[in-house]
Amino acid sequence: MGKRYERLTTPMVREDGRLTATTWDVALERVAAGFQRNAPDATGMFSCSKATNEMNFVAQKFARTVLHTNNVDSCNRT
C-alpha cells in the first residue's frame, strides 16, 4: 500500500513558507487577491465536451464576467 494521507478539514494558507490553518474568509480573500493581481490574459477556462450545453454556458459566463477573460476553450470541436 502507498502512503496514507489524511483529509484536510480546514483551509490552509502559506505564511513564511509554511502552511497554516485559517478561516474560509481569509482563504477566499487570498484567492480573489491572486486573481486580481494577475492580468486577465493570465487566466482561462477549459470545459469538456461531455458537459451539458448549460454547464458549458455557465463556465464561459463565469470566465468572462468573474475572471474577466475571453480565454475560453473546450474540446467540442474534436
Q: What residue segments make up the domains of the chain, in order of their start?
A: 10-40, 43-78
Has residue 40 got a pLDDT over 80?
A: no
CB-based contact 55:29 (threshold 8 Å): no
- Give CA–CA dist 50/28, Å, rounded: 29
Rounded average pLDDT over 29-45? 86
Higher pLDDT pick, 38 / 58: 58
Rounded average pLDDT over 42-48? 88
CA distances from 36 to 18, 50, 51, 71 (A): 23, 30, 28, 16
Run of H or E residues at 31: helix 24-37
Rounded average pLDDT over 44-63? 90
Has residue 21 got a pLDDT over 80?
A: yes
Percent of the chain with pLDDT over 70: 94
pLDDT given for residue 77 in this prediction? 64
